[in-house]
Amino acid sequence: MDGSLELVSASHEQQSILANLLELYAHDFSEFHQIPLGDDGRFRYPDLPLYWSEPDWHPILVKIDDKWAGFALVRKGSRVSTDQNVWDMAEFFVLREDRRLGLGTRIAHEVWRKFPGAWQVRVMQANLSAYRFWQKATDAFTGNAVHSSRFEMNGETVNLFAFNS
């Protein structure tokens, strides 16, 4: 995909755009993980407001050719260890129409360049397409095979890719 890629540090005023995209993400993700639907018919993402109040939490909106195409939520601090210096890809989403065109890999690589250092990317074992995506994206970024490790998190088996950018 040769379109114009733009990573936008989401402003507080753009929170509703991110919230809308998170609904699509939650719907996709509900195939692998039970996500309760609220009485209003929305999934909700309770941590979303923290991305504008926590200093090392970064909400990133993605545009391709001037249209919204996805997002990345990046946080400092491991969710699986005590390492508070590692970057965590908390959530990552690309609209279905833009998948399998190389856009997700381009977005991930740009995010990793924007936040240099140690990284962790967690993937539910049940989500095989995401596992294959992250395996290819991390391998291409580092130039080496990035082997994942398996662990249990909240009663689910998760694969963890760890590498440096």
Whether the model clears a pTM of 0.85, i.e. scores above it, the answer is: yes
- Residues 58/115, Cβ–Cβ less than 8 Å: yes
Identify the pLDDT of residue 21.
Answer: 96
pLDDT in tens, the chain (165 residues): 567 899 999 999 999 999 999 999 888 776 666 777 778 877 778 899 999 999 999 999 999 999 999 999 999 999 888 899 999 999 999 998 777 778 899 999 999 999 999 999 999 888 899 999 999 999 999 999 999 999 888 888 899 999 999
Q: Where are the alpha helices (DSSP H) in 30-157?
A: 103-114, 128-142
User: Which domains are seen in the chain, by residue range?
Assistant: 5-164 (3.40.630.30)
Alpha-carbon distance 24 to 106, whole Å?
Answer: 21
| pLDDT given for residue 33 in this prediction | 67
For position 108, what pLDDT does the model report? 97
> How many of the other CB atoms lie within 10 Å of CB of 67?
11
Handedness of CA 110, 111, 113, 118 (dihedral sign): negative
pLDDT in tens, 46-81: 899 999 999 999 999 999 999 999 999 999 999 888
Contacts (Cβ under 8 Å, ≥6 apart) of 26: 35, 43, 44, 45
Instruction: Find where tokens 């993605």 sit.
Output: 62
59: nearest Cα among 5, 25, 108, 15: 15
